[in-house]
Amino acid sequence: MSEKPRGTIDLADTLVGLHRNGEAHQMAIPPGPPRRIEGLTIGAPFMTREPPHAGEMHPDGDELLFLLSGMVTVVLEDEEPPRRVSLAPGQALVVPRGVWHRVVLGEPSQILHITSGPGGEHRPLTRRRSSIVLDEHMKSSHRPRGRLGVARGAAANNLGARLEANWTSWIRSPGS
């Protein structure tokens, strides 16, 4: 459901759609994949864990990612091997149209996204992808690597189960 904004908007808890016809609408964050509109979708989720997918791609235009707080690495699959771009608060990255990418958290973070639509795809998270996401998380966090090999399988399965459980559980507003 969408409605015209009538006051301030908390982009951590809701999305704003800027339609190609020039109108703005406030949209609830749905369970499951995000609703796509003919235009731009803007949000600023506060992420406390990895996204519940193994990457996404936007065929209708570039996506702007602006880090408000925390630390993330964006993995861009526009070359081989995939390119890794670290963002600190106040830095932005343009993800080119049609490039598969994923966000890897270094710590809880809030990121503003401006995403073109209506098209978009997400790769489902598999056990193998869970392990890859876990490996990316371990690389981006500054933890000692001592026993990583021993914990990888069980930790990856646990992470996969958590990520597949609910699309919306990976974001929360800072006050909740």
| pLDDT tens column, 8-45 | 999 999 999 999 999 999 998 877 777 789 999 999 99
Cα separation, 169 vs 52, in Å, equals 9
Q: Is residue 33 part of a domain?
A: yes
Domain count for the chain = 1
Residue bearing the bigger pLDDT, 145 or 118: 118
Q: Which amino acid is at 93?
A: L
Number of H helices, E strands in the chain: 2, 12
Q: Is residue 161 part of a domain?
A: yes
Over range 135-147, report the average pLDDT.
40
CATH of the domain at 116: 2.60.120.10
Cα separation, 39 vs 120, in Å, equals 12
Confidence (pLDDT) at 2: 67
Tokens 């951590």 -> residue: 12
Confidence (pLDDT) at 96: 97
DSSP structure class, residue 32: S
Q: Is residue 52 part of a domain?
A: yes
Strands (E), 117-149: 121-122
Q: Is residue 63 part of a domain?
A: yes
Q: Is residue 176 part of a domain?
A: no
Rounded percentage of the chain residues whose pLDDT exceeds 70? 70
Confidence (pLDDT) at 131: 47
Residue bearing the bigger pLDDT, 142 or 118: 118
Domain holding 159, by residue range, is: 2-171
Q: Is residue 99 part of a domain?
A: yes
Residue 142 has pLDDT above 90, yes or no: no
Query: pTM above 0.75?
Result: no
Residue bearing the bigger pLDDT, 104 or 4: 104
Cβ pair 134, 125 in contact under 8 A: no
Consecutive H or E run containing 86:
strand 83-87
Consecutive H or E run containing 150:
helix 148-165
